[in-house]
A and B are shown apart, each in its own frame.
Chain A
């Protein structure tokens, strides 16, 4: 039979190893998540495939008259569900007049989302809000809706990617 000493020592070493693994995995995941916050159209926008925000963005785009059929595959993943951040981040907008194709959405947590290109021209902020509405299938109706800055960043990233793809298609079609 294993003695308590050996059990406690081996258990301690295993516990430390688990901590190391947890920190490594978290660091990798965080660095990946940070990449999804890039929202500049034309620049690299990386969004995890199957992200619940992509269908949300596609639904919102469809309502605004943009094609969303090409996203039907990812839209099937709607039932994956997600956790809504509960940090309250009121949003204010600021349109830079000298740069009409650029729109900065300032968040009260100090961060900001910069929308450039078509997503800004087509009213990116409204689309993001629309996307949020459509993606919140577990929100109680009538309850005050609050989201975290990172959620908005993620939505903006997904929306930007969708717009970028539409723009590419339109360019390709006009040639």
Chain B
């Protein structure tokens, strides 16, 4: 139940702006991946999801535990990665309309990794509550 709530309210709702962008521009032009995630949007959303995960894991109980430390470290790395990548791609956007297909792929991978890692943080938070 906790997981379902988290997936709906944090992950799916955070993707809302992309869906809105898709729906609004649908009639005007041919929509492709480049139009939806071509400005590094996934990096921004991934950073927000990571921050949520970090907030959940940042408890004394979880961090003193080796598993909590691993997940905290992973999320901290992911936050660094998303921020750095967004920094790179936003710089590119000064000269081009959309980021390169490679960067789009990276953004999808990093977003996926972020969701998995934050999901683990939610699971760990749930485990600690039980104990």
Contact = CB atoms under 8 A, between A and B. Distances in A.
Interface string B55-91: 0000000000111001101110110011011001000
A12 B109 contact: yes
Interface stretch (A14-22, A112-120, A135-143): A14-22
* Secondary structure dominating the interface of B: helix
A97 interface: no
A119 to B, nearest CB: 24
A69 interface: no
A19 B117 contact: yes
Given A12-B114, A16-B112, A16-B114, A26 B67 contact: yes
Contacts of A16: 74, 78, 112-114, 116-117, 120
B106 A19 contact: no
Contacts of A15: 73-75, 77-78, 113, 117
A84 interface: no
Interface residues on B, range: 20 to 34
Interface stretch (B5-13, B15-23, B29-37, B123-131): B123-131
Contacts of B65: 26
Contacts of A9: 81, 106, 109-110
Contacts of B120: 16, 19-20, 22-23
Interface in A125-143: none
A95 interface: no
Interface residues of A, number: 19
B102 interface: yes
B67 A5 contact: no
Contacts of A22: 66-67, 70-71, 120, 124
A8 B124 CA distance: 24
B121 interface: yes
A8 B81 contact: yes
19 contacts: A4-B84, A5-B88, A5-B102, A8-B85, A8-B110, A9-B81, A12-B78, A12-B81, A12-B109, A12-B114, A16-B120, A19-B116, A19-B117, A19-B121, A22-B71, A23-B67, A26-B124, A27-B127, A150-B131
